[in-house]
Amino acid sequence: MAHEVVRHQLPLFDEEGRSAATDDEAGRDRHYLPDLPDEDPYAAGHRTCAGCGPAIQYRWVLKAAGNDSVLAGPTGCMYVANSTYLCTPYTVPWAHTPIASGGSFTSGMAAGYEAMIRKGRYPGQYPNIIVMAGDGSASDIGLGAISGALYRNHDALFVCYDNECYANTGIQTSPTTPYAGMTTFTPFGKAIPEGKKLPPKNLAKMMAEGHPHCYVATTTVGYPVDLMNKTRKGLNHVGAAFLHCYTPCQKGWVYQTSMTVELGRRVVEAGLFPVWEYDLENRTYHYFHPPVQRPVTDYLAMQGRFGHMLPEHVATMQRAANQNFRDMGMDVPAELVAGEDPEHHKRLAEETYSMPLNRGVGA
Ligand SMILES: Cc1ncc(C[n+]2csc(CCOP(=O)(O)OP(=O)(O)O)c2C)c(N)n1
Ligand code: SF4
Ligand SMILES: [Mg+2]
């Protein structure tokens, strides 16, 4: 006799409730009140850089998922820095996979748990099965395996932690590295003054359009409750789910260590990383409209990887951001439209830009 496969249904965090944020004078959320779960399956003890965006994302995803979780991690920073011999931050089962195999390994785990539970060989509920792959893995080397897993609809959450480079091997360009983003494989120089010429691959939209039966969403480490709720929605969805999370890399992008979460908001406010959720029934996108719209310079000038940009490069970036705002159904303020003209800009290194707010403890 087949046994029933019982799945978790994780409640969402109430954005209007105790875990709600307090608006600052600009309408941005300032504080997240601490009624988050005590469970912390990604504990202290990892060896990522200070301010590492992927490490912040790992912690929040696992807090949202809880202790009944099993994880896979393809090769990348978050494998190497989290699995030094005899030292690991995980309090739940975790396995390393080759960089190309996060999707296939996780499919196997999902199919295995289903079969074992049905046959009565595994006594518990169906666990939260999660793979967190870097952008090099998810959008490039391991894309085929993840797409296959989504297509076959294995009941697991596939997360891309996107630090916009192959970080672990020395900050090489990946398909999600933005236009003009300097990496060791896209240095700027006389021949190619912008560094990287290509725009970033739109991985999340590829996943949504190509696998319309899956839960697909984007988020950033700038919005913890959004990230945790989308993690839970993806896990609650019976079938495959894909979450694309923007996660700054302090070492590769060259910015002040304390600005990781700030960048996670500015990238959205500058129109460079739309945050959305795919509506499976109507095949539409629900976009988050940031309460603040900024020129791209407010975002770019915080990071050394863009320091070489010339006026025409900044204008190209502003055009892309404005188009994103329009795609999101937002108006583009006149000041940002004016920024599409190179005459409007100096070299990025000489631009004035809005300074980061102090978001230190108690700010
Ligand atoms: C097939 C294969 N090619 C190349 C590598 C070398 N490699 C190890 S980690 C890594 C970087 C992975 O980048 P990403 O997935 O974005 O993760 P990140 O290091 O940025 O966290 C590369 C290229 C490998 N392990 N396997
Ligand atoms: S190189 Fe970047 S992704 Fe890797 S541990 Fe450091 S900050 Fe994190
Ligand atoms: Mg990466």
Give residue-wise pLDDT tens across range 133-187: 999 999 999 999 999 999 999 999 999 999 999 999 999 999 999 999 999 999 9
Calpha distance 24→240 (Å, rounded): 37
Question: What is residue 34's DSSP assignment?
Answer: S
Q: What is the residue whose two structure tokens read 């913890």?
A: 224
**Mean pLDDT for the stretch of residues 298-323:** 97
Is residue 198 pLDDT above 90, yes or no?
A: yes
How far is Cα of residue 56 from the mean position of the Cα atoms in its chain? 10
Whether residue 312 is contained in a domain is answered as: no
pLDDT at 31: 61
pLDDT at 363: 35
Domain with residue 76: its CATH number is 3.40.50.970
Pocket flag, ligand 2, residue 63 (CB < 6 Å): no
Kindly write down the DSSP assignment for every residue of 52-92, as one continuous string. Answer: -HHHHHHHHHHHHH-SSEEEEEESSHHHHTT--TT---BSS
Whether residue 140 is contained in a domain is answered as: yes
Q: Which residue has a Cα nearest atom 12 of ligand 1?
A: 76
Is residue 67 pLDDT above 50, yes or no?
A: yes
Pocket flag, ligand 1, residue 141 (CB < 6 Å): yes
- Give CA separation, 96 vs 69, 70, 74, 310, in Å: 15, 12, 6, 42
Q: What domain range includes position 177? A: 26-297
Pocket flag, ligand 1, residue 169 (CB < 6 Å): yes
Pocket flag, ligand 2, residue 339 (CB < 6 Å): no
Q: What is the mean pLDDT of the chain?
A: 93
Is residue 362 pLDDT above 50, yes or no?
A: no
Give the number of the atom of ligand 1 that is nearest the alpha carbon of residue 100.
Answer: 1
In percent, how much of the chain has pLDDT > 90?
85
Is residue 328 pLDDT above 90, yes or no?
A: yes
CB atoms under 10 Å from CB of 47, counted, come to 14
Whether residue 192 is contained in a domain is answered as: yes
Pocket flag, ligand 2, residue 316 (CB < 6 Å): no
pLDDT at 32: 60
Whether residue 307 is contained in a domain is answered as: no
pTM of the model: 0.95
Whether residue 321 is contained in a domain is answered as: no
In percent, how much of the chain has pLDDT > 70?
93
Whether residue 46 is contained in a domain is answered as: yes
Mapping DSSP onto H, E and C, the string for 232-260 reads: HHHHHCCCCEEEEEECCCHHHHCCCHHHH
How far is Cα of residue 294 from the mean position of the Cα atoms in its chain? 20
For residue range 330-347, list pLDDT tens digits in order: 999 999 999 999 999 999
Is residue 197 pLDDT above 70, yes or no?
A: yes
Give the number of the atom of ligand 1 that is nearest the alpha carbon of residue 54.
Answer: 21
Whether residue 147 is contained in a domain is answered as: yes
Is residue 17 pLDDT above 70, yes or no?
A: no
pLDDT band at 1 (very low <50, low <70, confident <90, very high): confident
Whether residue 326 is contained in a domain is answered as: no
Lowest mean pLDDT among 13-17, 202-206, 286-290: 13-17
Q: Provide the number of structural domains found in the chain.
A: 1
CA of 142 to the centre of ligand 1 (A): 10
pLDDT band at 44 (very low <50, low <70, confident <90, very high): confident
Pocket flag, ligand 2, residue 76 (CB < 6 Å): no
